[in-house]
Amino acid sequence: MTFRQARWDEPPLWEISPPRSPPSEGPTAVIPGLPERWVRTTPVRWPELSELEIARHYTRLSQMNFGIDTSAYPLGSCTMKYNPKVSEVLARRAGAADVHPYQPESTVQGSLEVLYRLENLLAKITGMREVSLQPAAGAHGEFVALLMVRAYFQDHGQLEQRREVLLPDTAHGTNPASAAMAGFTTREIPSKNGCVDVALLQEAVSERTACFMLTNPNTAGLFESDIMAIARTVHDSGAMLYYDGANLNAILGVTNPGRMGFDVAHLNLHKTFATPHGGGGPGAGALGAGEQLAPYLPVPRVAKAGRKYHLDYHRPKSIGKVKTGYGNFGLDLRALVYILSHGEEGLRHVSRRAVLNSNYVADRLGRFLTRPFGKLVKHEFVLSGAQLRKEGVRTLDLAKRLLDEGVHAPTIYFPSLVEESLMIELPETESRRELDAFVAAFERAVKDTPEHLREAPHNLSVGRVDEVLAARELRLSWKDLRAAEAVRLASLPPVPAASPTPPP
């Protein structure tokens, strides 16, 4: 496929229309009683553009951005599936959007019902006792879960001893970061053939362990088949088992974290449940808890008495609030739409198809690059680009070259236990035709000349971006650009005085 991204030399806002200074209509009205010292003296230096200027500016920018509607995203562990349009329509209904979180309960029965129903559906899907929708994103859910684990052990007089969180070396970076934020030390357990080495885990767990965090299937795309032994090992030591739900898309209706013995689980609604990623967010991080940890979930809980819903703050063991409001409601609504649309069979089909896609593409790409782990994978798989290094080609080059084909790059250099790794996930929404197109694009990329690969991308709005320069000479705002420009101008030789124009 031939692909050429739009290339607009689109200036930033302040170059399109420099801000007027002083503004034409300043704050003429005086705020009663506001002391003079409080009144802003430096005007806000920001442009005001016409609607056309704004529409054109951002439409041009959008044309220099990949999205699901234009490109497949084979990003491992990110589950970039299609975001159904009906969800966008419904989330914009006045009954959903024009609702304030502090309205009296009697006026927000619909919003509460959305949350209540979604919590219950997610509890069934995950096999957890209760679900809270308050966390704003997956990593936020991890942090909240670990605070709950912390509160639990504090209640049971074991917090002083249980200070360690264990994780496999394939864990997402958010896992150790969340554990550290919740005040735990972390220790990574080396994997064996891409999976948890149960013998090493048994050696590592002790009465000092608070929690073992696991993604199943893991980031190598493998199902941890020893999960029952893992759960037993962790529970025998008195620790908790944490489920990172980033990879839930592989197992819907086949198994679930509750059945596998997990005590607490976060889900990324922006992955498995098809809410859009928004260029990096917002997401939504549902948190499921089993019997021991459910009392510690954030307040309020959404409760139902008779036919009426209400916000329940009567949870004495709750850790309290982790965010303003009750979660990312707009995303929760989209996830509910997704689950209601699919239903039992639909969701089962999602995982079947996602795993089939993954195995199909893995089988095809295995002809070009090494597959470090076993044959049967779940929703994603890992390749190693190490063999390209002898020609001086890095996985990074391959990723950039794939962009030239109009598909996004896979996740690269993760998991780190594989040299030059590529982690690939093409969710169920990608058709066989798209998969074959991706395989063909991948083949063209792998077989390209080393020079062409190293210079990629060629067809995008910009060539290879200098990330080293960005970090060395920090320019993080217009203010920095102005300062840099001032330095540049000051270093220029003085402009010679203009010679007087001779009289005619």
Partner 1 sequence: MLHSLGLPTIDALFEDIPKGVQISRMGIGPGRTESQVVGAIDKILARNKPISRFSNFLGGRISSRYLPAVVDAILSRSEFYTSYTPYQPEASQGMLQALFEFQSLWVELTGLDVANASLYDGATAAGEAMLLCRRIHLGDRFLLPASLPWEEKSVLANYGAGLGLKLAEIPFDPSTGRLDLEWVDREVRVGDVFGVLADVPNGFGLVDERLLDLKGTVGTVPLVVSADPLSLTVLQPPGEYGADIVVGEGQGFGMAPSFGGPLLGLMACRHEHVRLMPGRLVGATQDVHGRRAYTLTLQTREQHIRRSRATSNICTNESLLALAFVVYATSVGPARLARLQTDLAEKAHELAASLAGIDGLTVPRFNAPYLGEFAMELTQGNATGFLDRMLAKGILAGHSLSDPRPAARSGPELVLVAPSQSTRARDSRKYVTAAREALRPVSVGAV
Q: Which amino acid is at 382?
A: V
Single residue of 1, 2, 31, 504 touching partner 1 by CB under 8 A:
31
HEC profile for 282-342?
CCCEEEEECCCCHHHCCCCEEEEECCEEEEECCCCCCCCCCCCECECHHHHHHHHHHHHHH
Q: Which two tokens stand for residue 231?
A: 């759960």
User: Using CB under 8 A, which of 18, 190, 278, 392 touches partner 1?
Assistant: 278
Q: Which of 245, 276, 288, 290 binds partner 1 (CB under 8 A)?
A: 276
Binding of residue 1 to partner 1 (CB under 8 A):
no
Please report whether residue 96 would count as binding partner 1 according to CB under 8 A. Answer: yes
Q: Quick one: DSSP state of residue 75?
A: B
Give the count of alpha carbons within 13 A of 451, CB side only: 0
Under rule CB under 8 A, residue 301 binds partner 1: no
How far apart CA 22 and CA 366 sit, in angstroms, is 63
Indicate which single residue of 55, 199, 440, 486 sits in contact with partner 1 (rule: CB under 8 A).
55
Closest to 213 (Cα-Cα) out of 252, 245, 181, 258: 245
Does the footprint of partner 1 cover residue 64 (CB under 8 A)?
A: yes
Grouping H, G, I as helix, E, B as strand and the rest as coil, residue 42 is: coil
Q: Select the residue interacting with partner 1 from 203, 291, 466, 485 (CB under 8 A).
A: 466
Residue in 189, 287, 302, 347 binding partner 1, rule: CB under 8 A: 347
Q: Is the peptide bond before 298 cis (omega within 30 degrees of 0)?
A: no
Among residues 84 and 504, whose Cβ is nearest to partner 1?
A: 84
Q: Give the x/- contact pattern for partner 1 in 417-456, rule: CB under 8 A.
A: ---------------x----------------------x-
Cα–Cα distance for residue pair 76/418, rounded to 1 Å:
14
In whole angstroms, the minimum distance from the beta carbon of 173 to partner 1 comes to: 4
23 binds partner 1, rule: CB under 8 A:
yes
Q: Contact at 8 Å (CB) between 450 and 392? A: yes
**Least distance between partner 1 and beta carbon 370 (Å):** 19
State which of residues 176, 288, 385, 415 lies at the interface with partner 1 (CB under 8 A). Answer: 176
Q: Does 252 bind partner 1 (CB under 8 A)?
A: yes
Task: State the pairing for strand pair 240-244/209-214.
Answer: parallel
Sketch the per residue contact string, 387 through 416, with partner 1: x for CB under 8 A, - otherwise: ------------xx--x----xx----x--
Query: Does 260 contact partner 1 by CB under 8 A?
Result: yes
Helix (H, G, I), strand (E, B) or coil at 396: helix
Considering only residues 161, 208, 292, 363, which one is a binding residue for partner 1 as defined by CB under 8 A?
A: 363
Min. distance of Cβ 405 from partner 1 in angstroms? Answer: 11
Residues 116-175 touching partner 1, rule: CB under 8 A, are: 117, 121, 124-125, 127, 136-140, 142-144, 146-147, 150-151, 172-174
- Residue from the set 94, 487, 489, 497 that interacts with partner 1 by CB under 8 A: 94
CB of 446: closest distance to partner 1 in angstroms? 18
Between 444 and 464, name the residue whose CB sits nearer to partner 1.
464
| Closest CA relative to residue 339, chosen from 64, 192, 120 | 120
CA dist list (Å): 91 to 86, 95, 100, 120, 342:
9, 9, 14, 20, 18
366 binds partner 1 (CB under 8 A): no
Strand, helix or coil for residue 19? coil
Q: What is the rounded CA–CA span in Å between residue 242 and residue 221?
A: 18
